[in-house]
A and B are shown apart, each in its own frame.
Chain A
Amino acid sequence: GAGVSQSPSNKVTEKGKDVELRCDPISGHTALYWYRQSLGQGLEFLIYFQGNSAPDKSGLPSDRFSAERTGGSVSTLTIQRTQQEDSAVYLCASKTGGAKNIQYFGAGTRLSVL
């Protein structure tokens, strides 16, 4: 079946502009996660959704970052007034409601802030 889909795959923006990143999780997956991966580094947790609620948004680096999920499916991560340090690959993952915490990842959106 289809995996986690993210769009766009690449985004180049100017400093100060707002960007929206989209994630389509695997159908039926109830939990959805956003992570950030800077060049050559591990993944840094941003926020996760259970259904449409976000029980943990502790990883959002500033109030310029927000995310929402509607219909228990698609999620959008919004970065306002982008800064150069926001440049990274933003990865989305989803998992079923089962006990095992195996998260399945999309290919990510590479964001470049000039």
Chain B
Amino acid sequence: GESVGLHLPTLSVQEGDNSIINCAYSNSASDYFIWYKQESGKGPQFIIDIRSNMDKRQGQRVTVLLNKTVKHLSLQIAATQPGDSAVYFCAETPNSGNTPLVFGKGTRLSVIA
């Protein structure tokens, strides 16, 4: 099992500032990536996705950046709000079909009002 599971990386951000959450993925064959947000007591909620033929994709207040050279993914949240406080997971999959997602360990975002 995982040895660091109880100690999620934590990012503390002042309300109104921008947040950047990072994720390193392991499978160079992965070509589809998703960011999920998980609030306490709830299941993961889809935020934004990106295919490997892109390096940037924007949504509402969120931007995902993909660097395939170093196998790195980031999620940027603009003007962070208290409601953004949650654990954020990146997920990867070798294709965009039905294969199971492989999740990262997660980062806890704490917004300071």
Contact = CB atoms under 8 A, between A and B. Distances in A.
Given A42-B89, A102-B46, A33 B6 contact: no
B105 interface: yes
A42 to B, nearest CB: 4
A104 B42 CA distance: 12
B interface, over-half SS: loop
Interface of B: 1-2, 5-8, 32, 34, 36, 41-46, 49, 89, 91, 93, 95-106
A93 B89 CA distance: 15
Nearest to B46: A102
A101 B101 contact: yes
Contacts of B1: 38
Band of interface residues on A = 20 to 34
Contacts of B46: 102-104
A114 interface: no
A105 B100 CA distance: 13
Contacts of B93: 101
Contacts of A106: 43
Contact of B49 (A31, A100, A105, A108): A100
A50 interface: yes
A38 B43 contact: no
A31 B98 contact: yes
Interface string A12-43: 00000000000000000001010100111111
A91 B43 contact: yes
